[in-house]
């Protein structure tokens, strides 16, 4: 790999919006994207004229499967009054909208366009859980899904391999779940804005009301360790290690760097973009890392000239608790095999030295797959703008944040670094 | 629209390949892409090292639906030994790989990458005709497919509107079909390398052999006008107005302009790229043109500084005969309502002043939808390189050619101009 890839023209993010994530019987993909788009418009400090937008990139994994409708680029272009301007869909499984972001960056950096809207959408909850599982399995590599090695099984195997190699155990994963659930109530867009303690107490209260003997849950880990409260899905992945089924949309507005001050006095700049591809675990000598994430990180650090220690906080793809653990190591935040100890020490909490998933992560914020990548960047942008409210990272010099997005079983991974200058 | 969009860095095409198009029970998407990739490697005059390729963009419409497998970027990246380098899928219905080409151009023009592989693939023939029709309908806008207004019906309505407005009739569409079929036997990659006269004679021969009374077909138009030989699909679209179901793959190698001479002494350059989006015919005041094509053409002409009369030949998206007719007008080659007269005069024949679809077009070359856009550019590149063999445009000063790709019912349209300098 050429060491330090650079863009010929810098790119800034001047607006961002997302719908509330959740399961909506009464909202469709267009409703959700409209909510994200209106939020984005309202977020631009000095305002923008939507007629100035030159092009749209839209990430969507498989509304083809979920909603029996493909070709979403022009549908969304029509929705927001952009036709006949170009609209392009990108697909990289759960990393689909991180790819849209990257193509928006390239389109501006090429000099061709000045203002590009990037975003993502997915509408999953109108299908049954079994159908959603079938749809998601389309994103595994052929050697995996066809033999039944679907996502919970794959990440269960990753956790087992990690445990065996580094001596971690389920309690270490519980630390991640508890931390994300502690952040979620502070995020008004989150699908599950409840702490584990809230849920534990509510469950005990309800059992008492029914006259049932209340379980002896001394703390959150006792709750998470009780197979009745937190049943196994694919050992050691239990219910609370897994992200939910969600509907949602997200978008961001990109402009050429030299134009950014027309829209805000404090633009957020794209410091580094990285993307990698992976073969699947049938071809991997070791299940405790993702080569595609490592490659994406090298590209992004190389472009930005930054090191892992410069990234002050990050959104990291936690489709399962173990995924967050493995990726904070792959991104270089912690040494391989050391991440679980750092998490146990509180390093990744909102008030720790390296806050991870301040949004609540996919686990609690929700994971409408095509919308996730840009929603992670929405969180990083919101933090850097100092607009994160109760979940604002308590650091007065917050300047650099990252977002890591994973698609499939590591088939597509991205890492993007945003920076306030 | 900003008048003349430009790229900050020029881009050249130094290699191109495509699989033979057809219906293959014994070849899958990987087999087909490998065939295209090997053809591309062999086409680079001074050779290339595939390890130098920085990234992949792959157009695919809906192998999700057709093959129950999405996330094709990393599958193809793995196939050609590119992992962990980035691989991104683009989707714009039947224009999916023209979008891949465009993103490859942006990625290089941005300065980030030097060498990018772009291509497309689709595997359709393993599904029944009814299933393929259902899959293709995913690409219509929601107001169309859901009320049964699928592709043959849409283009039948376009033809009816064109006939009513301009006084054309079915005979004028037959001129297009006959012309494309005359080109196809000259193209070794074509799915149907047969002229209409060949098929007519074969049919008469076979009927005679069976002792049946041979029909009185004086010429090709008599054959095409006989409803037994050429039954109606959605009037006035008959069987021979419609492209077939196909499997296939295509790819091209793009490099930064300043690097092109390392790979060939006569590179072909990207002179203009254009893309537009459309709302669907429910929102159109007139069914005789495609606003998205007109927008794409304005972008491409604006960037290149060229006019329609400068484009010496073109591949034009002829999913149906009427589509070719409407688009040669939308692209400015002929005035609105005048195209059918020019076609009748032979203007678009291989030896005419504006050859259209020298490859045989989608009608005869085949239309594996995700592969089509780059396969059109393959034809333009092959002609400009003077490598088109028997179908070479007979013009010693061939320098500029265009490729027009349409997705859905005009939801996504592109126009790309390649140039030899």
Give A371-409 as a DSSP string.
HHHHHHHHHHHHHHTT--GGG--S-TT--EEEEEEEETT
> Is the peptide bond between B84 and the residue preceding it cis, with omega within 30 degrees of 0?
yes
Among chain B residues, the shortest Cα distance to A6 is held by B112
Q: Do B7 and A291 touch (CB under 8 A)?
A: no
B9 CA: distance to closest CA in chain A (Å): 7
Q: For residue A305, what are the contacts with CB-CB under 8 A and spacing of at least 6?
A: A4
Residue A115, pLDDT above cutoff 70: yes
Q: How many CB atoms lie within 10 A of CB B346?
A: 13
Distance of CA A83 to the CA centre of its chain: 29
Residue A273, pLDDT above cutoff 60: yes
Q: Is A94 a catalytic residue?
A: yes
A279 CA: distance to closest CA in chain B (Å): 6
Q: Do A83 and B278 touch (CB under 8 A)?
A: yes
A99 CA: distance to closest CA in chain B (Å): 7
Q: Do B88 and A77 touch (CB under 8 A)?
A: no
First vs last Cα of chain B: how many Å apart? 28
A18 contacts A119 by C-beta, under 8 angstroms: no
B383 contacts B68 by C-beta, under 8 angstroms: no
Among chain B residues, the shortest Cα distance to A76 is held by B279
Residues of B in contact with A105 (CB under 8 A): 110
Token pair in block for residue B125: 């023939």
Q: For residue A160, what are the contacts with CB-CB under 8 A and spacing of at least 6?
A: A235, A236
Closest Cβ–Cβ partner in A65, A73, A292 for B84: A292
Residue B146 has a pLDDT of 78
What is the residue-averaged pLDDT of chain A? Answer: 96
Residue with tokens 């022009």: A74
Distance of CA B398 to the CA centre of its chain: 20
Residue B216 has a pLDDT of 84
Which residues of B does the annotation mark as catalytic? Answer: 94, 367
Q: Based on the number of CB atoms within 10 Å of its own CB, is A85 exposed (0-12), middle (13-18) or buried (19 or more)?
A: buried
Distance of CA A345 to the CA centre of its chain: 24
The band of A1, judged by pLDDT with boundaries at 50, 70 and 90, is low
Q: Based on the number of CB atoms within 10 Å of its own CB, is A227 exposed (0-12), middle (13-18) or buried (19 or more)?
A: exposed
- Give which of A141, A151, A277, A410 to mutate to test B binding, by max B Cβ within 10 Å: A277
Among chain B residues, the shortest Cα distance to A272 is held by B112
Q: Do A411 and B75 touch (CB under 8 A)?
A: yes
Q: What is the torsion angle, in degrees rounded to the nearest 10, for the CA atoms of residue B62, residue B71, residue A113 and residue A259?
A: 140
Q: Do A73 and B412 touch (CB under 8 A)?
A: yes
Residues of B in contact with A4 (CB under 8 A): none
Cα–Cα distance, B324 to B317 (Å, whole number): 6
Identify which has the larger pLDDT, A282 or B341: B341
Closest Cβ–Cβ partner in A64, A109, A277 for B62: A64
Q: Based on the number of CB atoms within 10 Å of its own CB, is B33 exposed (0-12), middle (13-18) or buried (19 or more)?
A: buried
Among chain B residues, the shortest Cα distance to A303 is held by B112
Q: Do A70 and B292 touch (CB under 8 A)?
A: no
Q: Do A138 and B105 touch (CB under 8 A)?
A: no
Cα–Cα distance, B238 to A403 (Å, whole number): 52
Q: What is the pLDDT of residues B6-36, one digit of tens each?
A: 999 999 999 999 999 999 999 999 999 999 9
Among chain A residues, the shortest Cα distance to B413 is held by A86
Q: Based on the number of CB atoms within 10 Å of its own CB, is A128 exposed (0-12), middle (13-18) or buried (19 or more)?
A: exposed
Q: Helix B96-109 and helix A96-109: axis angle, to 10°?
A: 50
Residue A2 has a pLDDT of 60
A277 contacts A407 by C-beta, under 8 angstroms: no
Residue B335 has a pLDDT of 98
Q: Provide the percentage of residues in chain A whose pLDDT is more than 70.
A: 99
Residues of B in contact with A273 (CB under 8 A): 112
Cα–Cα distance, B360 to B364 (Å, whole number): 5
Q: Based on the number of CB atoms within 10 Å of its own CB, is B167 exposed (0-12), middle (13-18) or buried (19 or more)?
A: exposed
Q: Do A82 and B114 touch (CB under 8 A)?
A: no
DSSP one-letter code for A188? T
- Give which of A104, A112, A144, A293 to mutate to test B binding, by max B Cβ within 10 Å: A112
Closest Cβ–Cβ partner in A84, A291, A292 for B292: A84
Question: How would you label B82-97 residue by residue, b for 16+ Cβ within 10 Å and e otherwise?
Answer: bbbbbbbbbbbbbbbb
Cα–Cα distance, B114 to B255 (Å, whole number): 5
Residue B1 has a pLDDT of 52
Give the gyration radius of chain A's Cα atoms: 20
The band of A147, judged by pLDDT with boundaries at 50, 70 and 90, is confident
Residue positions counted in chain A:
421
DSSP one-letter code for B21? P
B175 CA: distance to closest CA in chain A (Å): 31
Among chain B residues, the shortest Cα distance to A273 is held by B112
How many angstroms separate the Cα of B325 from the Cα of each of A146, A311, B162, B194, B351?
A: 44, 56, 10, 21, 18
Q: Do A89 and B90 touch (CB under 8 A)?
A: yes
Show pLDDT as tens, one digit a residue, over chain B (421 residues). 566 899 999 999 999 999 999 999 999 999 999 999 999 999 999 999 999 999 999 999 999 999 999 999 999 999 999 999 999 999 999 999 999 999 999 999 999 999 999 999 999 999 999 999 999 999 988 888 878 888 999 999 999 999 999 999 999 999 999 999 999 999 999 999 999 999 999 999 999 999 998 898 999 999 999 999 999 999 999 999 999 999 999 999 999 999 999 999 999 999 999 999 999 988 989 999 999 999 999 999 999 999 999 999 999 999 999 999 999 999 999 999 999 999 999 999 999 999 999 999 999 999 999 999 999 999 999 999 999 999 999 999 999 999 999 999 999 999 999 999 9
Cα–Cα distance, B334 to A48 (Å, whole number): 39
B109 CA: distance to closest CA in chain A (Å): 5
Among chain A residues, the shortest Cα distance to B99 is held by A88
Residue B354 has a pLDDT of 98
Q: What is the pLDDT of residues A75-88, one digit of tens each?
A: 999 999 999 999 99
Closest Cβ–Cβ partner in B70, B276, B412 for A139: B70
DSSP B114-177: SEEEEEEEEE-TTS-HHHHHHHHHTTS-HHHHTTT--HHHHHHHHHHHHHHHH---HHHHHHHH
Among chain B residues, the shortest Cα distance to A97 is held by B88
A70 contacts B62 by C-beta, under 8 angstroms: yes
Residue B214 has a pLDDT of 83
Q: Do A75 and B6 touch (CB under 8 A)?
A: no
A187 contacts A193 by C-beta, under 8 angstroms: yes
How many angstroms separate the Cα of B21 from the Cα of each of A74, B63, B137, B288, B416?
A: 28, 16, 22, 30, 22
Chains A and B form CB pairs within 8 A to the count of 242
Q: Do A283 and B65 touch (CB under 8 A)?
A: no
B109 contacts B243 by C-beta, under 8 angstroms: no
Strand extents, DSSP E, B226-366: 232-234, 237-238, 247-256, 268-277, 313-316
Residue with tokens 């107001």: B143
Cα–Cα distance, B344 to A17 (Å, whole number): 54
Closest Cβ–Cβ partner in A62, A276, A296 for B70: A62
Q: Do B408 and A278 touch (CB under 8 A)?
A: no
Residues of A in contact with B2 (CB under 8 A): 54, 114
Q: Do A89 and B85 touch (CB under 8 A)?
A: no
Question: How would you label B45-78 residue by residue, b for 16+ Cβ within 10 Å and e otherwise?
Answer: eeebeeeebbbbbbbbbbbbbbbebbbbbbbbbb
H-state helical runs in A184-215 = 196-209
Half-sphere exposure of residue B92, counting CA atoms within 13 Å on the CB side? 37
Catalytic residue among A172, A238, A327, A367: A367
A192 CA: distance to closest CA in chain B (Å): 28
Nearest to B414 by CA among B327, B342, B334: B327
How many angstroms separate the Cα of A225 from the Cα of each of A45, A77, A229, B191?
A: 47, 47, 8, 61
Q: What is the mean pLDDT of the segment spanning A241-258? A: 98
Residue B2 has a pLDDT of 60
Token pair in block for residue A196: 């584990």
Q: What is the torsion angle, in degrees rounded to the nearest 10, for the CA atoms of residue A210, residue A214, residue A215 and residue A218?
A: 130
Token pair in block for residue B334: 């002929």
A196 CA: distance to closest CA in chain B (Å): 34
Residue A144 has a pLDDT of 84
Question: How would you label A174-185 residue by residue, b for 16+ Cβ within 10 Å and e otherwise?
Answer: bbbbbbbbbbbb
Q: Do A112 and B2 touch (CB under 8 A)?
A: no
Query: Phi, psi (5° rounding) for residue B116?
Result: -130, 135
Q: Is the dihedral of CA A303, A307, A309, A310 positive or negative?
A: negative
Closest Cβ–Cβ partner in B5, B85, B299 for A276: B85
Task: Give me the domains of chain B, ranges plus CATH numbers.
Answer: 11-128+244-420 (3.40.47.10)
């Amino acid at each position: 790999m050429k060491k330090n890839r650079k863009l010929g023209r810098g790119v800034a993010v001047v607006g961002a919006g997302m719908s509330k994530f959740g399961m909506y019987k009464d909202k469709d993909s267009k409703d959700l994207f409209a909510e994200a788009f209106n939020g984005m418009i309202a977020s631009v400090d000095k305002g923008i004229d939507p007629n100035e937008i030159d092009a749209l990139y839209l990430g969507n994994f498989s509304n083809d499967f979920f909603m029996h409708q493909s070709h979403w680029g022009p549908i969304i272009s029509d929705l927001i009054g952009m036709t006949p301007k170009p609209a392009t869909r990108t697909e990289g499984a759960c990393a689909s909208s991180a790819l849209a972001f990257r193509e928006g960056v390239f389109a501006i950096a090429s000099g061709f366009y000045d203002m590009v809207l990037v975003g993502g959408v997915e509408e999953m909850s109108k299908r049954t859980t079994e159908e959603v599982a079938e749809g998601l399995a389309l994103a595994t590599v052929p050697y995996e899904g066809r033999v039944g090695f679907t996502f919970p099984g794959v990440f269960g195997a990753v956790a087992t391999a990690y445990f065996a190699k580094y001596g971690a155990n389920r309690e270490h994963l519980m630390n991640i779940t508890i931390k994300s659930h502690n952040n979620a109530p502070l995020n008004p867009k989150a699908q599950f804005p409840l702490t584990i303690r809230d849920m534990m107490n509510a469950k005990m209260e309800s059992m008492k009301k029914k006259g049932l003997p209340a379980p002896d849950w001394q703390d959150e880990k006792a709750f998470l360790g009780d197979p009745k409260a937190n049943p196994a899905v694919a050992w050691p992945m239990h219910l609370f290690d897994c992200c939910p089924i969600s509907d949602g949309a997200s978008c961001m507005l990109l402009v050429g760097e030299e134009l950014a001050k027309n829209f805000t006095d404090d633009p957020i700049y794209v410091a580094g973009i990285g993307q990698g591809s992976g073969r699947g675990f049938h071809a991997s000598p070791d299940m405790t890392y993702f080569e595609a994430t490592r490659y994406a990180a090298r590209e992004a650090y190389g472009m930005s000239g930054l090191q892992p220690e410069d990234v002050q906080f990050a959104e990291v793809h936690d489709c399962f608790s173990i995924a967050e653990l493995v990726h904070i190591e792959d991104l270089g935040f912690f040494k391989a095999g050391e991440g679980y100890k750092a998490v146990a020490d509180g390093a990744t909490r909102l008030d720790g030295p390296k806050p991870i998933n301040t949004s609540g992560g996919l686990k609690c914020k929700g994971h409408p797959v095509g919308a996730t990548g840009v929603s992670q960047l929405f969180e990083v942008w919101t933090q850097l703008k100092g607009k994160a409210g109760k979940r604002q990272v308590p650091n007065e010099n917050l300047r650099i944040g990252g977002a890591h997005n994973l698609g499939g079983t590591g088939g597509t991974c991205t890492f993007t670094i945003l920076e306030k200058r």
